[in-house]
Structure 1
Amino acid sequence: MKGFVFHGPGQASWQDLPDPGIKEPTDAIVKVGVVTICGTDLHILKGDVPEVRPGTVLGHEAVGEIVEIGGDVRTVRPGDRVLMSCITSCGRCRFCRDGSYGQCRGGGGWILGHLIDGTQAEYVRVPCADLSVHPLPAALADEDAVLLADIFPTAYEVGVLNGRVRPGDTVAVVGAGPVGLAAIATARLFSPERIIAVDLAPARLEAAHRLGADAIADAREAPGQLVDDLTDGLGADVVIEAVGVPESFELCTRMVRPGGHVANVGVHGRPATLHLEDLWSKNVTITTGLVDTYSTPTLLRMAAGGRLPTRQLVTHTFPLEHMEEAYDVFAQAADTGALKVVLGGERHEVAVPEA
């Protein structure tokens, strides 16, 4: 088979690899149908995630068909079309029993494309398959389902739910990349008074407006002032950080109101300053988190019912073997307008988001 292999910071290639095989009786082997690239993959290529060893196949988001299962797998069988979750769950450890699958201590957590070979390949070995793949409803297309492997549960759980978005809130989302856009879409489920999107790229701000942002702000043009103007100087009830750089985190802590919530979603590769000299008296709650994907079954039902704007986030599609080109397009999003880049499937033309 072929896969996209990390060789060190700034180095990766689409190359020949041995086919994966069953190692544990709880494993499944999946033939990849559709796969996508995550901003976290770009962080890995930059060297921000040092535990990823050279020689690892990248990727943690894919849809495919079960081709082989271990003797202990009970919930899927060969021929099933499944979503591969970005999080693997053993189902037995303390954290999995609490639904905190991202913190699994039984060989799971975020391991695909991180600690073991991932999904950007023709075939994938998925450990703990009973709890780590999700059978897909026939009504849900692969290109829609693949966005539920990571960005929608991440935005919903780590951003919207951790941020405790409530009806009537002012919600600011800093970063209108794929996860930020998914946060806008899922925050709308809770009927906030307004959603404010902040980004540097005009194309991403336009996408944020299409997906439900009531106001947009260029990050270079005093977005905090816009938040103050819209809230009579109080600040936002919930601020979701969806970039992963120190400047955006610190901006979030300046925009939140006293008693508000800052929900950090972004993957940070550098230290950020926590200005406790300003925050200590403001009763602000700051949350961080790795997605647990406990919401994936619910989101799958919503997507199958047409309640999530998944396809609107897909801007480019490629054949699977064009992985290197797809990475270039995704990495140059400011120039290409890329939001979510999807590889594989039967359609390989560029998809235009709905207006």
Structure 2
Amino acid sequence: MKSFVFHGPGQSAWEEVPDPGLKDPTDAVVRVDAVTICRTDLHILKGDVPEAPSGTVLGHEAVGVPESFETCTRMVRPGGRVANGGVHGKPATLHLEDLWIKNVTITTGLVDTSSTPTLLRMAASGRVPTAPLVTHTFPLDRMEEAYEVFAAADTGALKVVLGEQRHGELAVPAA
């Protein structure tokens, strides 16, 4: 599969990387439909994050599918933990009837999700226009260009999406 890979300050490339696999019994491989660029990625690219070694795959804000979360809750062992980073655009079922006996911990993070349901309802009803938030959309094979646009001060990039064009977004034309 292709990924945008950090190789050191100012050194990155769109390149082939091995498909993900399971290493530990608690691992899960999650299908990702789209990713966005995060400002943290720009700090990594500049070399400001020494914890990010050469070979780090960027684009860590991922959009998965609700089935991925549900699969993780079915697989978690008794006393285990399911960490849900980010938000869901669609409902994900939490089967408490199966989980209560396992004594699991489910955490969420990265964003304050307390207002997410309200914001999603407002966006779906048109009360909050989402199209202006996504200023640039690129196909995945133009990830390197997308990072350049996101990092440049003069592009006006607010949120760059890589993947399928959705929600009235304007795609950036090929160079």
- The TM-score normalised by the length of structure 2 is 0.68
How far off its partner does 1:39 sit? 1.3
Question: 2:158 is matched with which residue?
Answer: 339
Determine the C-alpha separation between the residues in 2 that align with 1:63 and 1:51: 24
CA deviation profile, 1:111-162 (whole Å, cap 9, x unmatched): xxxxxxxxxxxxxxxxx6x322555426xxxxxxxxxxxxxxxxxxxxxxxx
Q: SS in structure 2 opposite 1:302?
A: helix
Per-residue Cα deviation, 1:259-308 (whole angstroms, up to 9, x for no partner): xxxxxxxxxxxxxxxxxxxxxxxxxxxxxxxx944732x23312221166
The 3 A distance-change label for structure 1 pair 135 and 349 is: closer
Question: Would the aligned equivalents of 1:25 and 1:73 in 2 still touch at CA under 8 Å?
Answer: no
SS of structure 2 residue aligned to 1:325: helix
1:31: Cα distance to partner?
2.0
| SS of residue matched to 1:314 | coil
1:73 aligns with 72
Q: Rg: which structure is higher?
A: 1
Structure 2: which 5+ runs fail to align? 92-107
Read off the aligned partner of 2:171 and give its amino acid letter.
V
Aligned to 1:295: 112
Write the letter of the residue equivalent to 1:63: V
For residues 164 and 20 of structure 2, the distance between their equivalents in structure 1, rounded to whole angstroms, comes to: 21
Describe the shift of the 1:306–1:318 C-alpha distance in structure 2 as closer, same or farther (beyond 3 A). same
| Residue 121 of structure 2 is aligned to residue 305 of structure 1 | yes
> What is the number of residues matched between the two proteins?
145
Task: Report the residue type matching 1:350 in the other structure.
Answer: A
Relative to 1, partners in 2 of residues 1:8 and 1:68: Cα closer, same or farther, differing over 3 Å? same
Query: What's the TM-score once normalised by structure 1's chain length?
Result: 0.36
Q: Which amino acid aligns with 2:156?
A: G
Is the 2:34–2:64 Cα contact (8 Å) retained in structure 1? yes
Counterpart mapping for 1:158-197 below 5 A: none
Does structure 1 retain, via aligned residues, the 8 Å contact 2:136–2:157?
yes
Question: Residue deviations 1:77-128, cap 9 Å, x none?
Answer: xxxxxxxxxxxxxx97xxxxxxxxxxxxxxxxxxxxxxxxxxxxxxxxxxx6
Taking the aligned partners of 2:135 and 2:117, their CA distance within structure 1 comes to: 23
The alignment partner of 2:21 has SS state of coil
* Greater RCO (CA < 8 Å, at least 6 residues apart): 2
Match of 1:131 in 2: 83
